[in-house]
Chain A
Amino acid sequence: MSFTNLMLAVLVIGALYFIAGQRVALALRSGNAGKLHSLPHYHGLWAAITSALPALIVLLTIVIGKDLLFQFWARDYFPQDILNGDAVDRAIALAKVSNVVNGIDFGQVEPWVQSAGDAWIRWEANAVVVANSLVLAVSLVGGLLGYRRINPTFRSRNNVERILTWMLIGSSLVAILTTVGIVLSVLFESIRFFKLIPPQDFLFGLEWNPQFEGAERAGSGGGTATYGMVPMFVGTFLISAIALTVAVPIGLFSAIYLAEYATPRIRGVVKPLLEILAGVPTVVYGFFAALTVAPFVKSVGESMGLEVASESALAAGLVMGVMIIPFISSLSDDVINAVPQSLRDAAYGLGSTRSEAVRQVVLPAALPGIVAAVILAVSRAVGETMIVVMAAGLAANLSFNPLDAVTTVTSQIVTILVGDQEFESAKTLSAFALALMLIVTTLALNYFALQIVKKYREQYD
């Protein structure tokens, strides 16, 4: 049986145990065994869970664990020089073996690769047999043990509920696991990168030329690969700054108008319309930026006698700004509405006009929240990928001129990691180091924003 069918079989066995458990409980109730502690279907559930849960755990362990185990075993077939070599060689060797296993023919392979591949296929077949027998046995035996415990005084509801509670706890741990996964996946590769390239060169280097990597390794000359992240961070913040220059005034004034002036009807129409802007996929914005906005910016710029790159930071930034408008406006709207009405009343009671109340009372009171919204928007802009991949350039120019082509952290990550890559090269690893910097930046921004919001909340609670 394949793993999918095996899983179905486990579920079917579980269902059968449910019926059996419920039946025996019903029989006990109609007989003169006295009052049942739990309702019959809880007894059924108990039997089903004792059957299916351990079996599924075993199955999952086998499915996830077998490849790791086989990789470890396959090393026995590797020649000594590869085992003693660096991680690159071992990864290449494993890839060759996996090609044999998957039947992908790249021509003649070394004998040890072939034999490792053959062994792997054997292990794979054995794993299926082991999994079949083990999983089915666990599900049958587990169910039987659970089933036999059913009696009138058995507290199956409490037991079922306890298991459910643990499953709920397990689900909520997925969030932690994901974070750990993100941190580990980025951290390990980054550490490997920093072994190849000194951190100070990466953090403060002013040049980014990973494309010479291959040439350098082949020793053919033609340039040195450099991994300085400064140009990309400058590019990222240049585009983010343009985006915020567009989004903050428009978003903020829209929010003020909608919160303080607009009639409920206008508000009811305009707010959802603005939210449509937030729902448009970023790839659509990217297409719009590349196809419509960039040529427009270029032609306008050139008609004014300016030199504009065809993939200018300005075009990407403008479109990103449009994307962020609803983000700013809805967050600002929330904080403006959170300013107590009593402050507005105080201002009106003293004879303020509406705009005086807004500018001198409401906005200063809402300022921390608005600042937090802007910080979150920066974080969003820094992490935005598709618009810059499609509309910003790839040239790592260290430039503050919005009319130049610049590149960003995210677009470099995508460029490096899309398609096939040698997993052990400094170029590939540099994408992980960039991702690490990206995570650190966005989380730091998020942290500051949350701290500000927290303080702000305390003020009015």
Chain B
Amino acid sequence: MEIVVSDSMVQNTNQVEGRAVPEKTLGNIHVDNPRMTARNVDVFYGDKHAIDNISLDIGASQVISFIGPSGCGKSTFLRCLNRMNDTIDICQVEGEIKIDQQNIYDPAIDVVSLRARVGMVFQKPNPFPKSIFDNIAYGPRIHGLAASKVELDQIVESSLQRAGLWEEVKDRLDQPGTGLSGGQQQRLCIARAIAVSPEVILMDEPCSALDPIATAKVEELIHELREQYTIVIVTHSMQQAARVSDRTAYFHLGKLVEVGETKQIFTNPQHELTQDYITGRFG
């Protein structure tokens, strides 16, 4: 796992007419009905200060998108939300992140049950080299979610249906998941995440490896899923953020510059950096 905060990027963005990154996030970090709350989060990779004092609420049954130039910390912050950073030895997280009033970095919280509640979909589709059925059934099986074979079948079917993949794969559930097309693989991964019945789904640039048609399908899927799940999506595409999300957060150099309603961010950004970014001056 590699998260690069490249120096060239830092220089490049610093040259943006010398505009300072604000000390305090602009816009309203709070929501009425938060599912997760992050307060004063700092992340270090060894000596590198990757996330600098970020506070943000993530609203229940909402889609929030994280945007910003490469290396701005948006993926790192996303990975803090289900402690995926634990797998990196030199990574150190400070501050407080709560899900339903429970601190997820509390030693009493088991990372396994946390990740069952906060699922994740990755940048590159990563189906297991197993059958489609086994891919979906993997989570329910390890967590003991299905009481019976029948229930497991139901979970697999409903997950695939909700991911809009059922019609395409129902006749070949025993075929390897790696044999699907890229877009199908990514929807399979989303279905696999849904099968655990999480409360929050984190998506790390889920469409960056997909063609436009597959992207459209995944975006449609995100649209449907928001009724039931809280979704956090990191994206490089501002159009995508505008299309799928309710709120948008703009990250820059490890800081959260601005957050607000998506419409407001894209029509009336408060900070010059945000404006420059969404108008394509850099990024």
Which A positions have Cβ atoms within 8 angstroms of B? 263-264, 340-353, 356, 360-361, 364-365, 459
Contacts and interface: CB of A to CB of B under 8 A. Distances in A.
B116 interface: yes
B243 interface: no
Interface in B190-212: 192-193, 196
B142 A360 contact: yes
Contact of B142 (A263, A345, A356, A459): A356
Interface stretch (B30-38, B39-47, B122-130, B263-271): B122-130
A351 B112 contact: yes
Contact of A360 (B112, B126, B138): B138
A342 B122 contact: yes
A347 B82 CA distance: 13
B143 interface: yes
Contacts of B130: 364
Interface in B230-257: none
A350 B1 CA distance: 17
Contact of B115 (A264, A341, A350, A459): A350
A348 B87 contact: yes
B59 interface: no
A264 B89 CA distance: 10
A347 B135 CA distance: 10
B84 interface: yes
B189 interface: yes
Nearest to B124: A342
A349 B112 contact: no
Contacts of B50: none
B87 A364 contact: no
Given A345-B1, A345-B84, A350 B129 contact: no
B87 A350 contact: no
13 contacts: A263-B89, A345-B84, A346-B126, A349-B193, A350-B119, A351-B112, A351-B113, A351-B115, A351-B139, A351-B143, A352-B112, A353-B142, A360-B138
B84 A350 contact: no
B120 interface: yes
B196 A350 contact: yes
Interface string B174-197: 000010000000000100110010
Q: Which of B1, B121, B138, B196 has the most CB of A within 10 A?
A: B138
Given A346-B126, A346-B127, A348-B115, 18 more contacts: A345-B84, A345-B122, A346-B122, A346-B189, A347-B128, A349-B120, A350-B119, A350-B120, A350-B138, A350-B139, A350-B142, A350-B196, A351-B111, A353-B112, A360-B142, A364-B128, A364-B129, A364-B130
Nearest to B86: A348
Which size class do B's interface residues fall under?
A: 20 to 34
A342 B178 CA distance: 13
Nearest to A354: B87
Contacts of B111: 351
Nearest to A346: B126
Contact of A343 (B1, B115, B128): B128
A345 B138 contact: no
B143 to A, nearest CB: 6
A340 to B, nearest CB: 7
Contact of A340 (B84, B126, B139, B193): B126
A365 B129 CA distance: 7
B68 to A, nearest CB: 22
Q: Which 5 A-B pairs have the closest CB atoms?
A: A349-B120, A351-B115, A342-B126, A351-B116, A350-B139
Contacts of A342: 122, 124, 126
Interface in B162-184: 178
A162 to B, nearest CB: 47
B142 A349 contact: no
Nearest to A264: B89
B84 A349 contact: yes
A340 B116 CA distance: 22
Contacts of A364: 128-130
Contacts of B121: 349
A259 to B, nearest CB: 13
Interface string B34-67: 0000000000000000000000000000000000
Output the residue of A264, A340, A344, A351 with the most chain B CB within 10 A: A351
Nearest to A344: B87
A267 to B, nearest CB: 12
A356 B138 CA distance: 10
A458 B180 CA distance: 17
A344 B86 CA distance: 13
A351 B196 contact: yes
A459 B128 CA distance: 12
A350 B129 CA distance: 16
A351 B193 contact: no
Given A343-B128, A356-B142, A348 B122 contact: no
Nearest to A356: B142
A345 B1 CA distance: 9
Contact of A351 (B1, B129, B142, B189): B142
Given A350-B193, A352-B112, A459 B129 contact: yes
Nearest to A361: B128
Interface string B124-152: 10111110000000110011000000000
B115 A349 contact: yes
Interface string B92-127: 000000000000000000011111100111101011
Contacts of A344: 87
A343 B125 CA distance: 10
- Most chain A beta-carbon contacts within 10 A, residue among B111, B119, B142, B143: B142
B220 to A, nearest CB: 22
Nearest to A365: B129
